């Protein structure tokens, strides 16, 4: 395999990345000679026609446009995972009986690449994302992927596609890894064949109105997941179960749904595809504990660690909708916000529950949500120091002249 594709010198890339990590004091699994990395996994990179100036729409939306390349990796029970490849973005060819389409054996994850002030890119807590997709795969009876290979595939793919980064505020490259069952079989059992792929999408803010409060509909009659089920796995069925109620909420003027627990219909679980937190008196932040029905959010975990360093008290505690409603009405709860990769922090301006509405902070973004958003995104975009070792630098500020000479 050549180490130079489309004008990018990958030996130079890995050497520069390791130099950046060494200068930053970062010690991680990727600080090793580039030749060993490339030889160990031997990702095959197919050459494609260069695209030095991708056509990036002014109105991006979220996850509607995709870059020129994708990563693919196939599994069979006889041979395990084989043939890791980065090639042209293409349609998938699936047998109509592919197991993912019938038994639902499919998981995915999501992370982002952020443009740093120096032109390189940051990946954020990528180790947590690969651990989570493997945790999801285990829950769905699917084979795990090699964590180092998965991470290397993301780094290499992002380094090749960095020109797709939008030149607008709060832009990023959204990275979507997927593992799906492809064996043509209708039996209800684990598939013997799987496809692991990764695609990249240039995105702007998740919510069209940007960092502004959202209205949230509290669902009492319908639930998202039950403890012991698949709620903590990122599998399409969990999201499919939320769509009908989410559409009904939109018809009521709400952007998201707050889910209650499936047994008692009392305890707060999640909001939409995000974890949820409530602020008491501008000082204390409370979020429901992971229960088996709640996703292990990377942003949630980051805020759990970041908030105390900013002077906030952070607690994981069960919370009922009755308690939350009471504390909003008596003024103890001053803010609420969602936490997730797509939106990072999403302030909540109002809750709608059983034909009642409660407004938080006068329907405006609160100071706590704003502070957490600013501090966390500053680390993600490389505008502030990263004392936690959460970011991985992907060097992409390559010599444009060498690219033009191809």
Residue 36 has pLDDT above 90, yes or no: no
Over residues 256-277, mean pLDDT: 94
CATH label of the domain that carries residue 142: 3.30.470.10
What is the domain range of residue 158?
45-204
Q: How far apart are CA 324 and CA 28, in angstroms?
A: 41
Domain identity same for 96 and 243: no
Beta strands (DSSP E) in 252-375 are 256-260, 268-271, 275-280, 284-287, 313-316, 333-340, 344-353, 356-359
Residue 307: Cβ-neighbour burial (10 angstroms; 0-12, 13-18, 19+): buried
Q: What are phi and psi of 81, to 5 degrees?
A: -80, 130
- Residue 243 DSSP label: H
Domain identity same for 242 and 197: no
Reduced to 3 states (helix: H, G, I; strand: E, B; else coil), residue 208 is coil
Domain count, the chain: 2
Q: How far apart are CA 42 and CA 167, in angstroms?
A: 33
Instruction: Check if the beta carbon of residue 346 is closer than 8 Å to that of residue 274.
Output: yes
Domain identity same for 248 and 370: yes
Across 40-44, 156-160, 357-361, least confident range: 40-44
Per the model's pLDDT, the better-predicted residue between 124 and 343 turns out to be: 124
Band of residue 371 on the pLDDT scale cut at 50, 70, 90: very high
Task: Record the pTM.
Answer: 0.87
Instruction: Check if the beta carbon of residue 316 is closer than 8 Å to that of residue 328.
Output: no
Domain identity same for 185 and 224: no
Domain identity same for 234 and 353: yes
Over residues 188-204, mean pLDDT: 97
**pLDDT score at 188:** 97
| Model pLDDT for residues 378-405, shown as the tens digit of each residue | 999 999 999 999 999 999 865 333 443 3
Domain identity same for 220 and 323: yes
Please, which residues have CB within 8 angstroms of residue 55's CB and are 6 or more apart in sequence?
none
Band of residue 207 on the pLDDT scale cut at 50, 70, 90: confident
**pLDDT score at 2:** 40
Does a structural domain hold residue 174? yes
Does a structural domain hold residue 87? yes
Domain identity same for 280 and 170: no
In the block, residue with structure tokens 């399409």: 236
Instruction: Check if the beta carbon of residue 335 is closer than 8 Å to that of residue 351.
Output: no
Q: Within a 13 Å sphere around the CA of 360, how many CA atoms are in the beta-carbon half?
A: 33
Residue 376: Cβ-neighbour burial (10 angstroms; 0-12, 13-18, 19+): buried
Does a structural domain hold residue 234? yes
Mean pLDDT of the chain: 88
Q: What one-character-per-residue DSSP string does 66-112 give?
A: --SEEEEEEEETTTEEEEEEEEE-------TTBGGGTT--EEE--EE
Q: Within a 13 Å sphere around the CA of 175, how many CA atoms are in the beta-carbon half?
A: 27
Instruction: Check if the beta carbon of residue 337 is closer than 8 Å to that of residue 274.
Output: no
Domain identity same for 259 and 321: yes
Domain identity same for 54 and 194: yes
Over residues 216-236, mean pLDDT: 92
Band of residue 60 on the pLDDT scale cut at 50, 70, 90: confident
Instruction: Check if the beta carbon of residue 120 is closer than 8 Å to that of residue 395.
Output: yes
As beta bridge partners, residue 267 has: 320
**pLDDT score at 119:** 93
Domain identity same for 326 and 369: yes
User: Given 204, 222, 244, which residue is the final one in a domain?
Assistant: 204
**pLDDT score at 76:** 98
Over residues 140-165, mean pLDDT: 96
Q: How far apart are CA 211 and CA 395, in angstroms?
A: 29
Please, which residues have CB within 8 angstroms of residue 364's CB and are 6 or more apart in sequence?
213, 349
Instruction: Check if the beta carbon of residue 25 is closer than 8 Å to that of residue 135.
Output: no
């Amino acid at each position: 395999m050549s180490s130079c594709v489309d004008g990018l010198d990958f030996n130079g890339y890995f050497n520069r990345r390791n130099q950046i990590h060494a200068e930053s004091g970062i010690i991680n699994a990727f600080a090793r000679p580039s030749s060993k990395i490339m030889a160990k996994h031997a990702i095959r990179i197919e050459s494609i026609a260069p695209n030095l100036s991708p056509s990036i729409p002014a109105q991006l939306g979220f996850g509607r446009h995709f870059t020129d390349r994708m990563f693919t990796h196939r599994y069979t029970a006889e041979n395990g995972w084989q043939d890791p490849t980065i090639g042209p973005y293409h349609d998938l060819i699936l047998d109509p009986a592919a197991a993912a389409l019938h038994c639902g054996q499919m998981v995915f994850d999501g992370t982002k690449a952020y443009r740093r002030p120096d032109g390189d890119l940051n990946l954020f807590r990528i180790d947590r994302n690969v651990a989570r997709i493997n945790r999801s795969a285990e829950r769905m009876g699917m084979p795990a992927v090699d964590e180092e290979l998965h991470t290397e595939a993301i780094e290499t793919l992002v380094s090749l596609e960095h020109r797709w980064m939008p030149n607008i505020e709060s832009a990023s490259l959204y990275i979507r890894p997927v593992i799906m069952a492809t064996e043509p079989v209708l039996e209800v059992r684990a598939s013997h064949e799987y496809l692991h792929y990764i695609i990249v999408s240039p995105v702007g803010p998740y919510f069209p109105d940007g960092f502004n409060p959202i209205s949230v509909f509290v669902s009492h009659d319908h639930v998202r997941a039950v403890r012991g089920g698949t709620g903590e796995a990122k599998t399409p069925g969990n999201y499919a179960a939320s769509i009908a109620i989410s559409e009904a909420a939109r018809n009521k003027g709400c952007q998201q749904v707050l889910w209650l627990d499936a047994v008692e219909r009392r305890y707060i679980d999640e909001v939409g595809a995000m974890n949820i937190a409530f602020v008491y008196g501008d000082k204390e932040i409370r979020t429901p504990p992971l229960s088996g029905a709640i996703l292990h959010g990377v942003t949630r975990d980051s805020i759990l660690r970041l908030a105390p360093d900013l002077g906030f008290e952070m607690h994981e505690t069960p919370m009922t909708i009755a308690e939350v409603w009471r504390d909003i009405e008596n003024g103890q709860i001053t803010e609420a916000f969602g936490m997730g990769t797509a939106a990072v922090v999403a302030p909540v301006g109002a809750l709608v529950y059983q034909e009642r509405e409660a407004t938080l902070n006068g329907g405006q973004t609160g100071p706590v949500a704003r502070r957490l958003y600013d501090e966390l995104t500053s680390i993600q975009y490389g505008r502030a120091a990263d004392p936690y070792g959460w970011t991985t630098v992907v060097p992409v500020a390559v010599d444009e002249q060498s690219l033009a000479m191809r």
